[in-house]
Structure formats: C-alpha cells, structure tokens
A and B are shown apart, each in its own frame.
Chain A
Amino acid sequence: MPDNPVACPDCDLLQHIPLLPSRGKALCCRCGKVLAINKPGGNERTLALAIGAAIVFVIANAFPLMGISAAGREVDTTIIGGAWAMWQEGNQLTAALVGLCAVVAPAGYIMVTMVVLVAARRYPSVPSWVGELLHWTKLAQEWAMAEVMMLGILVALIKIADLATVVIGLGMFAAGTLIALLAAMAINFDPEEIWTHVQWTDDGARLLANSTQTIDYQEAKK
C-alpha cells in the first residue's frame, strides 16, 4: 500500500504516503493538503456516533426549539417550522433551501452514513452500491448546515428578545447536542478505509478486458 503513488487532489503532485502512526496525518509536500489520516477504529466510532445522532435528531425535530410570549399570547416553533413559515408566506424557494439545509441534508447524512457503515461491516468484500452511497454522504454533508442554523436561531432570538419574552425549548438543547455529534462523526469517518474494500465494478473488469485502460497501480498490486 505505501508503494502506490497518490495524486494530491488540490495540486496534482504525485507522491508516496509513508506508513502512518496511529492518528498520524500525511500532508501534501507542495500545497499542504491533508492527503491521509490514519484513524484506527474511526468507522466503528462513527457508527456509534451516528446512532446517537439519529436519536438526538428525532428529539431536536419533534420538540419546539423556542417560544415567545407577549401580551398573554404564546408562539413556538420547531426546526421545520422555520421552513414552513417561509412556505406559507409565499417564499417557497427559500423555504425549500432552509428545509434542505436544516432537516433533509442532516437527516440524509446520518441515515446514509449508518447504512454505509453497517454494509461496510460485510468485510472483506463490500458491495459496490456502498461506493455510490459514499458519494451521497459527501453531498449531504456539504448541505447539512446545522451549525449555521444554530447561529441563525441565536441571532433571531436576540433580535426578538427586545419585543417579547423568549423561552428556550427542549429542541434547542437537542439541536446543540446534534451539532457536536455531527462534528464528531465528520472527524471520525474514514471513507478511504471503506473504499479499499469496495468491490470493483463489472464495467471496470470489462473495460479492462477491452484494454480501454491499462492496468492501474492498485490493480497491479493485487
């Protein structure tokens, strides 16, 4: 494995990654991009964190984040309530974006990561659809903006605090915990480790037979 060259995704420099110690990091020697991190047991921890995140996600979405009371009246909102209010006020595009970044993408990220990690336990040969799902975890992670949402809620609260009394709900504490769990998942997740066990496509084998591509480095090692 250390004999295979890798290309830096940010500067295309070919280089070799030495054997890394536990928790060790390899940086690109030209541009400083992190090329590899050795995370022993990272995916096991990620699965545990993902199960926790799924539970906390349900709580964060089921209970009100916060409420305000003024002149004897009370209003409260959940996470999806923010997108729903936008939708009802005739701003469907923005509502869809808020729903995507606050609910759909985080939920998708947690669920797809769980499926990938459970399927990847079918070691040593991981089915190729897991590879397709790995791409979706990356996409969902890019659009999951729970931490930005949290800061947005805080700014909204401070704006409103002048007008009415603000009450913090259970959903808010759960959302705070969710952000910590999502960050911990991202740190521990090791897709590289899964990719090394994913079965190669039939297409790949056929293309190889038709010699559209020459044997690449990884294949030559086998």
Chain B
Amino acid sequence: MTAREPMAMPSGLALCKHCGLLSKLMTTHETSYCLRCGNELSFRRHEAIQRTWAFIIAAAICYIPANILPVMTSITLTGAEDDTILDGVVMLYATGSWPLALIVLIASVMIPMSKLFALAYLLVTVQRRSLKSNRERVQLYRIVEFIGRWSMLDVFVISFTVALVQMKPLMAAQPQTGIVFFAAVVVLTLFAAQSFDPRLIWDSANSMENRNE
C-alpha cells in the first residue's frame, strides 16, 4: 500500500449511509447528524465486526438442522416420504434434470456455506490487520453480497410445490420444520453481509502508515 492515499475517516469526513453526502464529523460531540437527510453519521457501520460475527454464528447453528431435518413430506398412495434439502437435489438428479439439480445444490447448500466461510475469512483478516490482497477481499465481499439472495431458491421451490400438490388422498406435499431453519440461515446470512463494512479492510493499511510516520 503506497502512502498518500487520502481516506475519508482520517480526514474527519464521514459518508452518510442514507444519502451519500460527505460531511465533517466532529468526534468531540456525542452524535452528529447528516445536514441533508438528518440521519445519524458515523465513520463505519455500527459495531460491524461484532454484529457480523453474531449473525454468522447464529446462521452456522441453524445450518445444521436446516440440512438434517426434513424440509418437506411428500404423501402419495404408497405412503409418506420425508425429504431433506439434499434429498431434493438427489431427486432432481435422478429424474434426469441434472442442470437443475446443480442449480439447487449451488443455491441451497454451497452458497450459504461459502458465504459463512467468506465472511469469517474477511472478519479474521480484518481483525488480524492483514494488509494483503485488499482489492481481492473487497471483490469477495461484493460476490457475497450479490449471490446471497439466490439461497432463497429452495424456500420458493417448497412453497410452490406445497401450493400445487394438494390432491389428497392421491398426492400431497407438506412443509416440515427444516424449512424454517433453512429460511433462518438465508435471512441471517443476508443480515451478516449487510452488517459487515468493507472499508474496514482498508483501515489497517491506514493505521500502519500512521505508525510508520
């Protein structure tokens, strides 16, 4: 990191998270408000590291029942069958639509897990004040932000399957507890990504610079 890359926080400037106005923020006063939109100003997102960790840990805990518990029961004339998320993927693969099986596998299993690992990696490197590959880490964060919503896929799949397959006693589909945990994982990882502040990645370079001066 070369010196003389002026950043807003060391210059006492804060970007309003609502309207994007750059204002001087006085640290001597308890709270400052944006002059344009009246919202509270801060240099970084509030308690970004702690909040992101909290959401990640909560999501990781929910991830286990989300994958172990059945998400749906299919009732046919021959009997009832409980399906987990992975069973759904296997079923799609077995019926010959492997591209769809792959999409569901990526959206439901791989995206939530890689989001958790990616955010944990970002947090650990920020906390260890890493100076390496800042640009790549910001890009990783942008990918996490962008793909997060696609994990909602399976929640919609189950909802519409349940809505359509209602022909008792011929066949029926019922949602099971697993889907609640799965939905919780999706929402918690979305919150985790929103809580993190990518500017923290660049702060360690700045504090190193100050130390050397």
Contacts and interface: CB of A to CB of B under 8 A. Distances in A.
Given A148-B153, A153-B160, A5 B171 contact: no
A214 B26 contact: yes
Interface in A40-80: 65-68, 70-71, 73, 75-77
B171 A66 contact: no
Interface string A77-100: 100011111100101011101100
B97 A158 contact: yes
Interface stretch (B5-13, B57-65, B116-124): B5-13
Given A70-B170, A94-B183, A159-B91, A203 B38 contact: yes
Contacts, number: 230
B113 interface: no
A164 to B, nearest CB: 8
B36 A82 contact: no
A169 B9 CA distance: 54
B49 interface: no
Given A12-B199, A97-B183, A213-B24, A152 B35 contact: no
A84 to B, nearest CB: 7
A27 interface: no
Contacts of A4: 22
Interface in A3-23: 4-7, 9-14
Interface in B143-178: 149-150, 152-167, 170-171, 174-175
A145 interface: yes
A151 interface: yes
Given A151-B153, A200-B35, A195 B26 contact: no
B20 A68 contact: no
B198 A11 contact: yes
A178 B37 CA distance: 32
B196 to A, nearest CB: 11
A7 B155 contact: no
B23 A213 contact: yes
A10 B200 CA distance: 9
A185 B91 CA distance: 37
A91 B167 CA distance: 19
B100 interface: yes
Contacts of B179: 91, 94
B166 A93 contact: no
A153 B34 CA distance: 43
B22 A6 contact: yes
A141 B139 CA distance: 22
A200 B36 contact: yes
12 contacts: A4-B22, A10-B141, A13-B5, A14-B6, A31-B134, A31-B138, A86-B162, A101-B152, A151-B150, A155-B157, A156-B164, A201-B37
Interface of A: 4-7, 9-14, 30-33, 65-68, 70-71, 73, 75-77, 81-86, 89, 91, 93-95, 97-98, 101-102, 128, 131-132, 134-135, 145, 148-149, 151-156, 158-160, 162-164, 192, 195, 198, 200-201, 203-205, 207-208, 212-219
